Amino acid sequence: MLKSMSFTRFRYICYAAVICMLTFTACGSGEKQPDVSDIKVNLQTKRLDRDLAALDTNALAAGLQKLNQKYPDFLNFFLDTLMGFEIKGNYVDSSNGIQHGLKTFLTYKDYKGLLDSVNKHFPDTKQTDEELTKGFQYMKYYFPNYRVPQVIYMISWLNNWGAFTFGDTTLGIGLDMFLGDSYPFYKSVGLPDYTYTHLRPAYIPVAAFTVIYENMHPFVKEDRTLLDMMIQKGKEQYFLKKVVPYAADTTRLGYTEKQLEWCKSNEAEVYNFFVRANLFHEKEFERVLRYVMDGPSSTGMPPQSPGNVGSWLGLQMVEAYMKEHPQTTLPMLLNQNTDPLRFLQESKYKPR
């Protein structure tokens, strides 16, 4: 039986936490990280949210024409694909998309209030810029030919565009999706409680490098066993530990502290649960969805368990594999296509 556990909350000293973030030590992973201080990254950022808020709503067409010069290609993608205004580059004041789409969002009190909230929470993006820059330094350490994209900060009016890539040159970050647990309107737009760990400013680097990873190695679930999917997710988590080592384990995994402690205290029981239920070989995604995707808990496990427990277990397998194969580099690990059962065997993983 998977057991419940009594949990004593870790005591974090605020000063140490601040120093941890500012100095980017390996506070999240607890592992010694390579020195990347000599790797040059010149991060280019723009604030589309502020540029939109500064538009004269009585002369939107002229304002959009200027913005299109600052955000070539991306502006139309934002207006038409993300927001669905269907302006399609027709920057004239008589455009229906401008008058009944964009103008409504810029003048309606609730949407205008969101712009004000974002500006209040993010009067600048200095800390986020520093965290992303450090992450890109690690990226270039492990992947020397990686090209650092520009970063465009924006809002999608709570349409859940937290982080995404646009082509090979742009990383979009929706600041409205990182306003913290207490932001009242997340619940009103239907975001479930278990997603709130993803809605904090500290999650921005994790969200950013997750989408970068998914572009490099898309998650494949069709005709794949649960074990295969766990290892895929484990590799993703291992990648994140390497490129955002300053993120706390709970932040990276999207767990609460209690959920992470539950996993650690029940590692053997979690592994044996999948063995007894013969789930490692299951290919029906609907049956195993909650084990590799976010959710309130994992099916068949106590409520103390996190959803997506398979990602954590997959990470344990990957870390065991890397300890057994120290000559394997991060790119080699991510690019290999080893049979999942063989990978597990070669990892010599033994749950504690």
Same domain for 58 and 203?
yes
Q: CA-CA distance, 179 to 182, in Å (whole number)?
A: 8
- Does residue 24 lie in a domain region? no
103 Cβ contact partners less than 8 Å away, ≥ 6 residues apart? 57, 60
Residue 239 sits in the same domain as residue 279: yes
CA distance 48 to 68: 11
User: What is the total residue count of the chain?
Assistant: 352
| C-alpha to C-alpha distance for 205 and 183, rounded to whole angstroms | 20
pTM metric for this prediction: 0.90
Q: Give the three-class secondary structure for 229.
A: helix
Residue 82 confidence (pLDDT): 95
Q: What CA–CA distance (Å, rounded) separates 173 from 196?
A: 17
pLDDT at 286: 94
Do 202 and 269 have their domain in common? no
Do 249 and 331 fall within a single domain?
yes
- Other CB atoms within a 10 A radius of the CB of residue 235 amount to 23
Phi, psi dihedrals of residue 160, rounded to the nearest 5°? 70, 35
334 near 318, Cβ under 8 Å?
Answer: no
At 23 the pLDDT is 39
- Please check whether residues 161 and 184 belong to one and the same domain: yes
Query: What pLDDT does 30 receive?
Result: 59
Decide which of 161, 188, 216 is a domain's last residue. 216
Report DSSP state, residue 147.
Answer: P
In-domain check, residue 207: yes
Query: Alpha-carbon distance 143 to 329, whole Å?
Result: 10
- Number of domains present in the structure of the chain: 2
Beta strands in 287-330 (DSSP E): none
3-state secondary structure of 327: coil
Distance CA 155, CA 119 (A): 11
Residue 108 carries which DSSP code? S
| 51 and 187 co-located in one domain | yes
* pLDDT for 218: 97
Tokens encoding 184: 């009242």
Q: Classify residue 271: in a domain, yes or no.
A: yes
> Considering 216, 251, 266, which residue would you say is the last residue of a domain?
216
Give domain status of residue 273, yes or no. yes
- Does 153 map to a domain? yes
Residues 247 and 204 in one domain: no
Average pLDDT per 10 consecutive residues for the chain, totaling 352 residues: 39 36 45 92 98 96 97 96 95 94 93 93 97 98 98 94 95 97 93 94 98 97 97 98 97 96 98 97 95 95 96 98 98 96 98 92
| Number of alpha carbons in the 13 Å side-chain half-sphere of residue 89 | 6
Residue position matching structure tokens 């929470």: 121
Element housing 17 (H / E): helix 14-23
Assess whether 59 and 109 both reside in one domain. yes
At residue 149, the pLDDT reads 98
Q: Tell me how crowded residue 55 is: count the other CB atoms within 10 A of its CB.
A: 17
Q: At what angle do helices 226-243 and 126-142 cross, to 10 degrees?
A: 110
Residues 199 and 246 in one domain: no
Residues 184 and 280 in one domain: no
Q: What are phi and psi of 170, to 5 degrees?
A: -135, 135
Which range marks the domain in which residue 86 is found?
33-216
Among the three residues 216, 244, 270, which one is the final residue of a domain in this structure?
A: 216
**What pLDDT, on the 0 to 100 scale, is given for residue 32?**
82
Distance CA 11, CA 257 (A): 11
* 210, 232: one domain: no
What SS3 state is found at 104?
helix
Structure tokens at 171: 């990383």
129 within some domain: yes
